[in-house]
Amino acid sequence: MGKQFKSKEQLITDPVRDAGFKESLEFERLKLKTPKSDRARIIKKMKSQEKRKRREERKKEREMLGDEAPAKDQPKTIENMREADVTMVDAEDEEVLHDQEYDEMASYFNRETTPKVVLTTSPKARVDTHKFCFDLTKIIPGAQCVPRRCIPVKKIVKQAIEKGYTDLIIIHENREKFLPDGMILCHLPEGPTAYFKINSLTYPKDIKGVGETTSHYPEVILNNFNTRLGLLISRMLICMFPQDPNFVGRRVVTWHNQRDYIFFRHHRYEFKREGEKAALHELGPRFTLRLKWLQRGTFDPVEGEYEWVLKRHEMESSRRRFYL
């Protein structure tokens, strides 16, 4: 008699040990019976079903074990896998607090000065750039927007210092798209000066269900600025707003740093069901900032001392390394 060969199903002797082998058989049958156009969709569905099944099994196990159940696995993200950086500091570090007591923004935090912000644009800016400046004046209490004409930046800085302004914002316009694409933030009278790239700008009129901005002083939230550079940038951003928010207005300005991109959001929080539930009503605009360089002192492109400059090809070799 000829030798009898066993089928692949008969080779499975231990269901637990050979579970993966059995699943591979099902995938093989699926490839033979399913058209190529539908194969990826069905395989994805099978994998999601298996994932849901494993999740339900873990949930039942935790319910059975109660307090003795193992802790949930923390999902791996780029943020929690961030590479260690020597410049990362604790906000309550004594050395950091000492440096902040004597930096250029110390007078603001000591309540010796009141924020007074002036905004302008690049020369011959178009309507959309002026519109963005107008939106910023509604966000920053007491901010004034002044037409630029063809005055050099160094002369604007000198005039702003003479008139007692504490911060200068210059919105740069892209000459091809005629849209805002950059922002210079200069803290007066001694600096520092930072240049940001503007991305993903959405005007309030383009936001669905947008609310109307009021004149109340906003609460300012700074999130995830963990390095010395990040703390300095966060102090520059908060110096534009008064320190005493009007909680009656429920207006909130958020600067959220994620992977060195600073996301700006502007909301009003509302209470519903007699205070049992809270909701956010967006006021706009929304945009994202990317720090390009930081200069010591006021703006000086010729003799200015740069504290930090983004060099993409050198500094972005790793996706898990961040500077703010």
The full set of domain ranges for the chain reads 94-315
Min mean pLDDT across 169-183, 253-267, 273-287, 310-324 is at 310-324
282 pLDDT exceeds 70? Answer: yes
110-141 as b/e, with b when 16 or more CB fall inside 10 Å? eeeeebbbbbbbbeebbebbbebbebbbbbbb
Write out pLDDT tens, residues 182-239. Answer: 999 999 999 899 999 999 999 999 999 898 988 999 999 999 998 999 999 999 999 9
Sign of the C-alpha dihedral, residues 158, 162, 168, 174? negative
DSSP string, 68-125: GSPPPPPPP-TTTTPPP-TTB--TT-HHHHHHHHTSTTHHHHTTSS---EEEEESTT-
300 pLDDT exceeds 70? Answer: yes
Quick one: pLDDT at residue 29? 67
Of residues 84 and 137, which shows the higher confidence score? 137
77 pLDDT exceeds 70? Answer: yes
Quick one: pLDDT at residue 37? 67
Min mean pLDDT across 15-29, 101-115, 248-262 is at 15-29
Residue 314 CA from chain centroid, whole number: 22
- Predicted confidence band at 22 (pLDDT cuts at 50, 70, 90)? low
**How far, in Å, CA of 199 to CA of 136, rounded?**
16
Quick one: pLDDT at residue 84? 76
**CATH 3.40.50.10480 is the classification of domain 94-315:** yes
**Conformation bin of residue 5: beta by default, left when phi > 0, alpha when psi is -120 to 50:** beta
